[in-house]
Structure 1
Amino acid sequence: MGRKSLKEDQQKKIIEAFYNIAISEGIENISFGKVAKELDMHPSLVVHYFSNKEEMLLGLIDYIIASYAQIYQPVDTNVDSLERLVEILNNIFSRKWNTYIDDSVFYNCFALIFRNPQIKSRYRELHLLLREWLKSIIQECVDKKQLLCDDPALAADLIFVISDGAYYFLSMVDDPLEFDRHSQKYRIEAFKVLGLSPN
């Protein structure tokens, strides 16, 4: 039990160092030596926990999934289902995505899906998981008669199609006011999918 916990703790530290270097230098420029230097440890110790860079990349994607899960956790645990859904939608269409995971790292990893089937599979799992989480809270609102929605799975999918397209475009917008203006426009459309008022 103790050994497993130590291993997981070390792996987490290595992934966090990997992530921090990726923000400043890009994934393609990361080496075991740089990760070891960031952590002030011998490179052989990094290799002990991750036998190659691909394993670290998969660990990073798991780190991304765990970070994005926070968007679904209500700040106030006493909120009802509809309030939680509204909070989640507001989070999805806000700058909070970028506070959980840096956009450059996310898209840097994403580009690898075209060359690496395992990374492609992991990214697909991530996107399906995000949709499943959103579908579940929409279904909860429907079950409690707080919302009318014939197909929660389709609604969740459409909201993420809006979100994914929005962030792809918004990653090229430097002006904060323009970013917020577009973001609010996409947020309104996402609320419309559920027949909800964005206010």
Structure 2
Amino acid sequence: MGRKSLKGARQQEIILAFYKLAKIEGLENTSIAKIAKEMDVNPSLIIHYFQNKEELSYALIDFILDRYTPIFNVPGKSAKNSKTILLKVIDNLFSKKWDTLFDDGLFYSCYALSFRDEKIKMRYKSLLESLRHKLSELIEACNEDGSLSVDNPYECADLIFTILDGAYFYLSMIKEPSIAKAKLASYKQKALNVVGLQAESPLASGAVVLL
């Protein structure tokens, strides 16, 4: 058991080093040799756990999912009921909490690989579907307690993530913080409209809402 745990910890260490280096060097310029140099280890140690960069890239997709799923964890004090939890999660999704979980440039570099590598495509598909199902479950919980009446929770979750994905790609090109903040608030309200909810008032949350 101990050796298995150590192996897992070492793999996580390698993946994290790969992630940090790829943020700086770019995914295409990051090699096993460079990762080994950054970690101050022999390249053979990395190859022991990941035979090649392709395997490392697969592991990086799984790492993305691990980074994103905690956004659905709502602290006990905030988890008063299903509707409150859903509002909090959507607020998290359309906030800096979500945007800073994973480097945008690296995310889109990995995404581009999905057009050339079927395994990466399937991992990305699994990742995106997992996030949609998690949000769908929160919407369904609101249906069950009567706080919402949504015909197709998964379809709504899918649409919200479609808004989210497009929003962050576009916002990554906007340099003015005030404009980006206003647009993000507007996109969040559009996402809330999908399930018939409203964002907190600007005075209560300090958000800027575009009409």
Q: Normalising to structure 2: TM-score of the pair? A: 0.91
| 1:104 corresponds to 2:101 | no
Q: Read off the aligned partner of 1:76 and give its amino acid letter.
A: G
Unaligned runs of at least 5 residues, structure 1: none
SS of the residue 2:198 aligns to: coil
RMSD, aligned α-carbons = 1.1
User: C-alpha displacement at 1:100, in angstroms?
Assistant: 1.1
Mapping for residues 1-199 of structure 1, pairs under 5 Å: 1-76=1-76, 79=79, 80-199=81-200
Q: Do 2:78 and 2:84's aligned partners in 1 also have CA atoms closer than 8 Å?
A: no
Identity score, percent: 45
Residue 77 of structure 1 deviates from its aligned partner by: 5.7
Taking the aligned partners of 1:147 and 1:99, their CA distance within structure 2 comes to 30
- Alignment CA distance shift 1:189-1:130 (3 Å): same
For 2:102 and 2:13, the matched residues in 1 are separated by 16
Could you tell me how far apart the structure 2 residues matched to 1:141 and 1:72 are?
Answer: 15
Structure 2, unmatched stretches of 5+, are: 201-211
Aligned to 2:10, what secondary structure does the other structure show?
helix
Tell me, in whole angstroms, the C-alpha distance in 1 between the residues paired with 2:55 and 2:75.
33
Per the alignment, residue 208 of structure 2 pairs with: none
Q: Cα distance, 1:78 vs. partner?
A: 5.7
CA distance in 1, matches of 2:99, 2:56: 21
Whole-angstrom distance in 1 between the partners of 2:98 and 2:195: 21
